[in-house]
Amino acid sequence: MEEKEESSSECEEFVEWHPEGYGICIKIRKKLVDFTSEFQHIEIYETENFGKMLVLDGAIQVLEAGEASYHETLVHPAMLAHPRPESVLVIGGGDGGTLREVLKHDVKKATLVEIDPAVVELCRAFLRIDNGSFDDARTEICFEDGFEFLRKAGECEKESSRGGKSVESRSVRGTGCENSGKYDVILVDSTDPVRHARGLFSEEFYAIAFSALRENGILVTQAGSIFPLSSNFLNAYYNMKAVFPRIEVLSAPVFGYAAPLWGFIAGIKGNLNMRKADLSGIERLELQFYDAKMHDTLFFLPAFVKKALQL
């Protein structure tokens, strides 16, 4: 895989425009990676003041100085709300940040399902925010479409319950995994709902994910901008609400994203309560953004958002 490196004189700034007509501009020292995979255009930059930055198809995914506000919000409220989150599925998240946060908990297995092997390979080599999580003994990596992975897992379960042969699945570490079993927590760390990620925000996907959760389980997805309120967020909310009996909406300012306030949506199955998560051991996680005092604030929503969601 060949990477393209540019001098700072050729690449002095990176600009991402929000669809509403404003944007964010980051000063760049140099471009470390410029690669087009089968699925997307991948760029990694070294910024002037905020560490490294991952960009997919022109949209910022990770800015090192701000990524904790995203990954910690996505992961820890759900993990702490579950009494024993032993089996966790991460869909997307090829940069390794979500996986890193999951493995701070006493999990037995964390399965990462990433559609694009190039993202993992390049982030492992250049971004390096995973802190060794890709190589953790509890990690299993599968390069597959997340929607198809869960759909096939459901078929495996149905065949098994009928006593028939299971659907064929791969189990080679780093190239595929055994897509069967149930999960305590499912975390969807995908790009926005375009192209190959579109299905991950559909009602059909949430129904499949609901079945893949154990009796007590939580699904959390990043859901896009809520200030300004995006159609992506509204669609994800109502699609999830059609499936899950209880929904929680969380929000946090994510430094580096072209929106002042980012939304996360959680679907809850069984007898779990994210608002009353056990925060007694949160200090041992050594977090940068999320803590016990911040927990309640994640559930506060602007009045116009509550109105749009009919809350």
Active site residues: 189
Backbone dihedral angles phi then psi of residue 56, each to the nearest 5 degrees: -120, 125
Burial profile 43-61: b = 16 or more Cβ within 10 angstroms, e = fewer: bbbbbeebbbbbbbeebbb
Name the token pair of 103: 């493995």
Cα angle, residue 191 at apex, residues 8 and 53 outer, rounded to 5°:
20
Backbone dihedral angles phi then psi of residue 298, each to the nearest 5 degrees: -65, -20
With CA atoms as reference, report the closest residue to 202 among 230, 157, 241, 228: 241
With CA atoms as reference, report the closest residue to 36 among 60, 56, 11, 64: 56
As a whole number of angstroms, the distance between CA 7 and CA 74 comes to 35
With CA atoms as reference, report the closest residue to 131 among 55, 68, 59, 41: 68
